[in-house]
Structure 1
Amino acid sequence: MSTWKLQEAKEKFSEVVKRALSEGPQGITVRGESVAVLISRAECASLAHPKPGFVEFMRQSPLVGLELETERGKRA
């Protein structure tokens, strides 16, 4: 993660935003202390609504409870 001093981040705000889109989170410091992180909207959305794991995905399937034929035919 790139880190910017607050004053520099204010002066180069459009560059900080572009880097957040292309490179990922951009840290911002005040007097050497990390105080904020700028992230893209897409990254924010993925943090707010994480994708379900595989088991949860399968439990939400419209095919839950459907009887499936699991035997294979014999090969010649």
Structure 2
Amino acid sequence: MRRWQLQDAKHRINELVEWALREGPQLITKHGHDAVVVLAASEYRRLTDEDGLVSLLLQAPRGELLEHGRPPKPIRALTLE
């Protein structure tokens, strides 16, 4: 991922957009710290797809017991020979 200082990104916005479209996400720094990432709209849609991984992770329960469909049967005894 290419890094751009904010001042350079402002002055070269057309180039920054072209890089994002051709090469992928572009990182913009502000005062030497990572600030934002510019990425192509198609990549953003892919990452935020309603059925995608990000959506699934964002909807995951936080600190709650996970509901599952398995019956609460005890573990069966196993005989090893």
Q: Can you list the C-alpha shifts for 1:26-71, whole angstroms capped at 9, x where unaligned?
A: 0000111001000000000000117669xxxxxxxxxxxxxxxxxx
Q: Residue 37 of structure 1 aligns with which residue?
A: 37
Runs of at least 5 residues in structure 2 that lack an aligned partner in the other structure: 54-81
Deviating beyond 4 angstroms after TM superposition, the runs of 4 or more aligned structure 1 residues are 50-53
Q: Which amino acid aligns with 2:12?
A: K
CA 1:19–1:50 in structure 2 vs 1: closer, same or farther (change >3 Å)? farther
Number of aligned residue pairs: 53
Identity %: 38
Q: Residue 2 of structure 2 aligns with which residue?
A: 2
Runs of at least 5 residues in structure 1 that lack an aligned partner in the other structure: 54-76
2:3 is paired with a residue whose SS is strand
Identify which of structures 1 and 2 has the higher relative contact order when contacts are C-alpha pairs closer than 8 Å and 6+ apart: 1
| CA RMSD, Structure 1 to Structure 2 (Å) | 1.7
Q: Which amino acid aligns with 2:6?
A: L
TM-score of the superposed pair, with normalisation by structure 1? 0.65
